[in-house]
Amino acid sequence: MILSKMLGNQGYHILEARCGLDAITIAKSRQPDLILLDILMPDVNGYEVCTTLKNEVATQNIPIVFISAVEEPNEKVEAFSVGGVDFINKPFQLVEVLARVETHLRLSSMQCQLIEQANLLKLQNISLQRELCNISGINPREYERISESFNRNEFKVFYQPIINLQSGLINGFEALIRWQHPQRGLVLPAEFIEIIETTDLIYAVGRWVINTACQQLRIWQSYYPHLENLTISVNVSTKQLLEFNLVNYVRETLNEYNIKPQCLKLEITESTVMGDRDITLQNLYQLKALGLKFCIDDFGTGYSSLRRLTDFPIDILKIDYSFIHNAEWLIVKAIATLAFSLGKEVVLEGIETNEQLELLKSLFPNSLAMVYGQGYLFARPLDAFAASIFLEQAKTIPDLEIA
């Protein structure tokens, strides 16, 4: 009563409630800017009132300041844990109550402005995205369909083993994205990756792949201590490498899952290394400084520039599957020889038969320790469970010879 009068004298319009239930009814119907709430009341207590209001959409953003004579620290902690923003002890000083009321009203007003601006930005982003879709010839409905599917967790990461050709042992996996469509089953990236890579989806999807792959690698390295150097290769696009916070994100992810940096390999394309954008190079070198390894994917099919092989911090060349598929052994040998002479390793993609494997091995008899293979002969891309079984089998036969 006294408080109402004092605040009323300061120009505030006051609504008074006689009990807890009364407070809930008034708050729902009148939606005040701020609530001063006692804890001890005749029917429901202040904590229950606060919990009820925080669970209602219409009242959840109203700041609630507890004002009570309770002295117990646990009672105060409870007030904050149910959603209160402040606690004022009785007996109170008017000047203190006024200062806190003004502060919380100001904060609340700023919060409302921020929410409005965020909603506005969201709308602007949607319309900008539609314009970008139109410019790049992408169907906006397709974009939305893929975006919604990603938000519904329909995308999965599959893992394809990479095998050392000298030892026949698994070196790591390449993480590959798939869409587990509820009606169509497993959809390959050819159907959706372009939309992801040419829109803002690449940032969220790209980070999700890095996170999922590192999380899975942590599970495997923990479960199979002898595979502490197992690696994971993640494909990253040119756009991702221009992302301002990419380096921090990768660093935090490695820390979160306790992954040794050299166990994470990033596969970039030839078009990425053809660009000379400052941010790309800066990010590449910062990631390299963390200890990551870089691999040029599908080497030999894009706009190859040999100069970039020494300008960029590349560790591995992944020779495109088409050379093996078309039996262009001389080209395979030439690229690999170049890689070895620059101190880089080689991954041969698309090995499907024992004949191909034997022939490839015969091309590099003295450098096999630096040559890795990937392809259906060893395994197709596997879901996490099947990849774990693959590792389990590799574990039980440590001298497994693939050929």
Which positions lie near Mg ion, rule CB under 5 A?
235, 267, 297
Measured from the CB atom, is 78 or 267 closer to Mg ion?
A: 267
Query: Hey, is 112 helix, strand or coil?
Result: helix
Cβ–Cβ < 8 Å for 102, 108: no
Q: To the nearest whole angstrom, how small is the minimum distance from the Cβ of residue 316 to Mg ion?
A: 11
Which is nearer to Mg ion, 220 or 299 (by Cβ)?
299
12 dihedral zone (left: phi>0; alpha: psi -120 to 50; beta) = beta
Tell the smallest beta-carbon distance from residue 105 to Mg ion (Å): 55
User: Three-state DSSP class for 123?
Assistant: helix
CB of 81 to Mg ion, least distance (A): 48
Q: Which is nearer to Mg ion, 38 or 267 (CB)?
A: 267
Question: ∠ CA(74), CA(59), CA(24), 5° rounding?
Answer: 70
Nearer to Mg ion, 171 or 235 (CB): 235
CB of 177 to Mg ion, least distance (A): 11
SS3 at position 171: strand
Q: How far is the CB of 240 from Mg ion (least distance, A)?
A: 13
Query: By C-beta, is 138 or 316 nearer to Mg ion?
Result: 316
Q: Evaluate the omega torsion of the peptide bond into residue 91 and state whether it is cis, within 30 degrees of 0.
A: yes
Task: Determine the 3-state secondary structure of 314 from DSSP.
Answer: coil
Nearest in space to 145 (alpha carbons), one of 155, 157, 135: 155
Q: Which of 66, 81, 92 is nearest to 2 (CA)?
A: 92
Q: Is 78 or 320 the residue whose CB approaches Mg ion more closely?
A: 320
CA-nearest of 373, 388, 3 to 169 is 373
Tell me the one-letter amino acid at 114: L
Rounded Cα–Cα distance for residues 202 and 113 (Å): 29
Token couple for 153: 């967790």
Question: CB-wise, 212 or 235, nearer to Mg ion?
Answer: 235
Nearest distance, CB of residue 222 and Mg ion, angstroms: 25
CB of 349 to Mg ion, least distance (A): 8
Instruction: Give 330: exposed, middle or buried? Use CB within 10 Å, 0-12, 13-18, 19+.
Output: exposed
Write down the least CB distance from residue 307 to Mg ion, Å: 23
Please check whether residue 68 is in contact with residue 46, taking contact to mean a CB–CB distance below 8 angstroms: yes
Task: Count the alpha carbons within 13 Å of 361 in the hemisphere toward its beta carbon.
Answer: 15
The residue type found at 187 is: V
Nearer CB in complex with Mg ion: 68/212: 212
